[in-house]
A and B are shown apart, each in its own frame.
Chain A
Amino acid sequence: MSTHLTGGFTDAPTQSARAFRTVLEALARPGQIGTLAGATPPAPLSPAAGALLLTLADQTTPVYLAPLHDTAEIRGWITFHTGAPFVTPEEAVFALGHWAELPLSRLSAGTAEYPDRAASVIVETDALAPANARLTGPGIATQTTARLPETAFFQSNRSLFPLGLDFYFTCGDQVLGLPRSTRVEAL
């Protein structure tokens, strides 16, 4: 039996509900790390990224996979469990991959009238610590810190506000959110 049939949620309604709450708290409190368990997708897709897709992706949300994640197994798993179609970066509602591989400038940052039509980016990382950036903005009482792949990109993304990309950094079963509203400085 092919592996894409396994590794989804065993009780989708309640597991998706719990996963969504973790994702909501993560995006609403940038820098705070949450645990997203319950998915066991084929490598190199992380359990957290798998759970994010199971919770949020479906036939209406095209997905772009960066090269290292664009495997037959991962495609098969996403198709079987979510039905999401695979597209170019320009058409993606969700983009997934390692930072260095993601074609960020080709992803939709939304429009002035519909800033919600911006892509959400799932960035697979090797570590969410130690911190190298200071974060301020909505969701953060005073300031907090996070480990980010760089700072310059997030500063230019913030300058587009209310347009811009929203990020979920995943590592194993952990997730850290960074919405477009967050101001980022190097530590």
Chain B
Amino acid sequence: MNAPHHDPDYNFAYLDEQTKRMIRRAILKGIAVPGYQVPFASREMPMPYGWGTGGVQVTAACLVPEDRLKVIDQGADDTTNAVSIRRFFQRTAGVEATEKTTEASVIQTRHRIPETPLTEGQILVYQVPIPEPLRFLEPRESETRRMHALADYGLMHVKLYEDIARHGAIATSYAYPVEVEGRYVMDPSPIPKFDNPKLGGNPAIQLFGAGREQRIYALPPYTAVRSLDFEDYPFEPSKANHDCDLCGASGSYLDEVITDDQGSRMFVCSDTDYCETRRNAGHRGRLSPEEAR
């Protein structure tokens, strides 16, 4: 292996060994109890909390020098947040970076699951702002912990049902709660509920890190994950009723983009690697340059 070496001014992957051991033990307990939030002692990272310090610490604890790291922010590899996290690990862990989902061994994500199906051997690390799915019902940590201990999720179901009664559908379109292996209710981080079906039965290991709230949780591969719903109101992953204007994809999650000051709009895949891979393979959308000529 001829991987670039990490910056010798830093310990490998930035964190000291004792901190990584503590995080690694928390990750393993998270794997053993899917969906349960394991407390851990979050460390200061050289970036603000909003930048995914929980995800960064989980990634730091998982990386090996041979990894290829992809970092996405709402599907895009090129935002300031994604670029700085990627550079941070290129420097402190000497890992290679990639924008290709298929080439990445570790993917850190903020608020999306890649469109390209993940495979065995890959790890998806989520940045989580609020790990507690019951927080909106109950602000006290001691109470939510008790509710999880007793699997006392009745109030949460009542709240979701009221939501349906009021809006005709469950209004929550991000961070839509899931039930893991018939036991823990879990917050999947603020991914669009369009992504929820990819949580379950996924061949990759999925790890969730919340820095400010000091929680780590996990979904092992092929875990059974169910988006909460009701017999009369089944779960529906919502999606804009369009195809991608650049690559023509009909099954991907789309961002609406204002293209000029007349308010012209286009819909494009939020997953930039997915869209580019499709365009490189010759797929075209309504506004592709070739068609516009």
On A, residues with C-beta under 8 Å from B are 12-14, 16-18, 20-21, 23-25, 27-29, 55-58, 60-61, 111-116, 118, 120, 137-141, 161-162, 164, 166, 179-181
Chain B residue contacts of A140, Cβ below 8 A: 222
Known: A24-B205, A161-B183, A180-B33. A60 touches B223 (CB 8 A): no
Q: Is the CB of B184 within 8 A of A162?
A: yes
Q: Is the CB of B31 within 8 A of A24?
A: yes
Known: A12-B17, A181-B32. A17 touches B222 (CB 8 A): no
Q: Is the CB of A116 within 8 A of B39?
A: yes
11 additional contacts (CB under 8 A) given A13-B13, A21-B64: A14-B12, A14-B64, A20-B20, A23-B28, A115-B36, A116-B26, A116-B36, A116-B38, A118-B29, A138-B34, A179-B220
Chain A residue contacts of B221, Cβ below 8 A: 28-29, 138-139, 141
Q: Is the CB of B28 within 8 A of A166?
A: yes
Known: A61-B25, A138-B222. A17 touches B12 (CB 8 A): yes
Q: Is the CB of A112 within 8 A of B183?
A: no
Q: Is the CB of B31 within 8 A of A27?
A: yes
Encode contact with A along B158-197: 1 for CB under 8 Å, 0 otherwise: 0000000000000000000000010110000000000000
Contacting A at CB under 8 A, from B254-282, are none
Name the residue among A29, A57, A138, A141 with the largest chain B CB count within 10 angstroms.
Answer: A138
Summarize B's interface: helix, strand, loop or mixed.
Answer: mixed
Known: A13-B12, A181-B32, A181-B33. A113 touches B149 (CB 8 A): yes
Q: Is the CB of B12 within 8 A of A20?
A: no
Chain A residue at minimum C-beta to C-beta distance from B93: A17
Q: Is the CB of A179 within 8 A of B32?
A: yes
On B, residues with C-beta under 8 Å from A are 11-13, 17-18, 20-22, 24-34, 36, 38-39, 61-65, 120-121, 145-146, 148-150, 181, 183-184, 203, 205, 218-224
Chain A residue contacts of B224, Cβ below 8 A: 138
Q: Could you tell me the distance in whole angstroms from the C-beta of A141 to the nearest C-beta in chain B?
A: 5
For the complex, what is the distance from the CA of A161 to the CA of B184, rounded to whole Å? 11
Chain B residue contacts of A113, Cβ below 8 A: 145-146, 148-149
Q: Is the CB of A24 within 8 A of B28?
A: yes
For the complex, what is the distance from the CA of A28 to the CA of B184, rounded to whole Å? 18
Known: A27-B28, A116-B36, A162-B36. A16 touches B17 (CB 8 A): yes
Q: Is the CB of A139 within 8 A of B64?
A: no
For the complex, what is the distance from the CA of A21 to the CA of B105, rounded to whole Å? 11
For the complex, what is the distance from the CA of A84 to the CA of B150, rounded to whole Å? 33
Chain A residue contacts of B223, Cβ below 8 A: 138-139
Known: A12-B17, A113-B149. A20 touches B24 (CB 8 A): yes
Name the residue among B24, B30, B219 with the largest chain A CB count within 10 angstroms.
Answer: B24
Name the residue among B12, B33, B34, B148 with the largest chain A CB count within 10 angstroms.
Answer: B33
Please name 27 pairs of A and B residues whose Cβ atoms are closer than 8 Å in the assembled complex, sorted by A: A13-B12, A13-B13, A14-B64, A17-B13, A17-B64, A17-B65, A18-B64, A20-B20, A20-B24, A23-B28, A24-B31, A24-B62, A24-B205, A27-B28, A55-B24, A57-B21, A58-B18, A112-B149, A113-B145, A115-B36, A116-B39, A120-B28, A139-B220, A139-B222, A166-B29, A166-B32, A181-B33
